[in-house]
A and B are shown apart, each in its own frame.
Chain A
Amino acid sequence: MRRAELVTAVILSLLSIYIMWKSGQSAWGDGWGESIRYIEGEGPGSGFWPFWLAVGMLGSCIWVIVNWVRKASPPSRSEERFLDNYGIMMLLKVGGGVTAFIGLIHFIGMYGAMTVFLIYYLAFLGRHNWLTTLSIAIGAPIVTFFFFDVAMRIVLPKGYLEPLFLPLYDIFL
């Protein structure tokens, strides 16, 4: 935990510096820093607030690091592991599963990816029987289709499976 606290603070500091740098960039191609000036008689430029907010972020990261050195905050004293083996496996299985779900949307669309994810989670992580798994994995996309595509008129992405939906559009839309 102690090492994670420091690593996180350093990563967040880098993020703050990136935002500071990005705030100074002008979309109109003016030189760096033009947008963060306080313009006389007008008030702050477009990058003024983001820049100083990022400075605030950097400042608080440095404060966190100081607390780390002084061992002033609970995580900086903790001897526990940041993520134990269970945590790492959980993150890989569940977090990885959700990431794969979102990645798959680009290829097999929301409905295909949803079905695959639900089967994966219910059958392999949740160890439910196939009846439960399949009834949810098939039921959920159907309910979603009627709620979003048909009733709410929010057309969810279909990916390569789009041709399969054309007849459905003809019937329901």
Chain B
Amino acid sequence: MAFSRRMLIAAGAAVIGMAGLMGTAQAWEPNKPIDFVIMAGKGGGADKMARLMQAIVEEESMSPKPLIPVNKAGGSGAEALVALNTAGDPDHTIMVTLNSFFTTPLRQPGLGVDIMEFAPVGRMAEDTFLLWVHKDEGISTFEEFIEEAKSRGDGWVMGGTGKNSEDNIITDFLNNNYDLSIKYIPYKGGGAVAKDLAGQQIDSSVNNPSEALGFYESGDLIPLVAFTDERLPMFPDVPTAKEKGADFSYYMQRAVVGAPGMSEDALAFYQGLFNNVYGSDKWQKYMSDKSLQGDKLDGDDLKNYWQTQRDRHEEILKASGAIK
């Protein structure tokens, strides 16, 4: 299928080329709707963010052709990565990614995906992680949490999104660093985790602020520690793990990437487009409302960031035994 698509694009390009529409000095612009692949299912954090970006692009008419969101959640993002890798028209295919962008190719080398080949359109933000417990637990500090979790052994249950995912990595860190044996239960999405924590089906979570915010404001959930380098402006009283003496911070990348093989001109167009999105009032408000961190990165800076992140995840996954 990929084969025939590629052929038809070649044929299409040839037709246009002959008509003399291409090759003018004008800057590259998309000439058909842009496939906007979302590496997660409908309604998740990445999906909400992607639809917000799409809405901003649409509202401010930033792009001559619309972004068409397509959810490809299969196989922890494996499906989306393969779809981009084999995209028939890389100039019209971009994707919203999260950290499974690093972990999935490491865990499934058979996919034949090299993330360094993807086009670095832009990192839009880094999402943060906090440790949450229910207010009825009677715990208000990180130290009390350690004590309580230790005394309950594997009776202490942490819920999180997916196996060997971001939430799992943080749980492993807590277990290894503080000599705990917290039991980790994978869920399909962060919303379900927050709901089950609010209903005390589980004992703690490491939700992103956007997932737990509603229950935090109602007072049901209490943040104990932030896995960031500095305290978050939204939670000034919550200490960081670093303050607690652990050299550990962990973020979720929220980035847009282009399909491998995207032309320089197209890449420049998308970089400009998402620069505009990043600068828009709506995006800035969203970032501060949801306690998102991180500056805009693109081009080589973004590639360097990917390289460090991939190496780091390789290390983490090796340490946890998820890969050999």
Q: Which residues of chain A have a CB within 8 Å of any CB of chain B?
A: 27-28, 106-107, 153-155, 158-160, 162-163, 165-166, 169-170, 173
Across-interface contacts of A173 in B (CB, < 8 A): 33, 65-66
The reply to whether B12 and A153 form a contact with Cβ atoms under 8 Å apart is no
Across-interface contacts of A28 in B (CB, < 8 A): 107
Across-interface contacts of A166 in B (CB, < 8 A): 16, 31-32
Which DSSP category, helix, strand, loop or mixed, fits chain A's interface?
Answer: helix
Q: How far is the CB of A116 from chain B (nearest CB, A)?
A: 17
Q: How far is the CB of A92 from chain B (nearest CB, A)?
A: 25
Binds A, one of B3-11, B114-122, B133-141, B206-214: B3-11
Give the size of the chain B interface in residues (CB under 8 angstroms): 18
Q: Is the CB of B307 closer than 8 A to any CB of chain A?
A: no
The reply to whether A155 and B33 form a contact with Cβ atoms under 8 Å apart is yes
The reply to whether A160 and B8 form a contact with Cβ atoms under 8 Å apart is yes
Bound CA–CA A170/B29 (angstroms): 12
Across-interface contacts of A160 in B (CB, < 8 A): 7-8, 11-12
The reply to whether B65 and A159 form a contact with Cβ atoms under 8 Å apart is no
Could you list 17 examples of A-B contacts with CB < 8 Å?
A27-B108, A106-B4, A107-B8, A153-B33, A153-B66, A155-B33, A158-B8, A159-B4, A159-B8, A160-B7, A160-B12, A162-B8, A163-B15, A166-B31, A169-B31, A170-B31, A173-B66
Bound CA–CA A162/B33 (angstroms): 12
The reply to whether A169 and B32 form a contact with Cβ atoms under 8 Å apart is yes
Across-interface contacts of B16 in A (CB, < 8 A): 163, 166
Q: Is the CB of B27 closer than 8 A to any CB of chain A?
A: no
A107, A154, A162, A170: the one contacting B9 at CB < 8 Å is A162
Bound CA–CA A158/B12 (angstroms): 11
Across-interface contacts of A27 in B (CB, < 8 A): 108
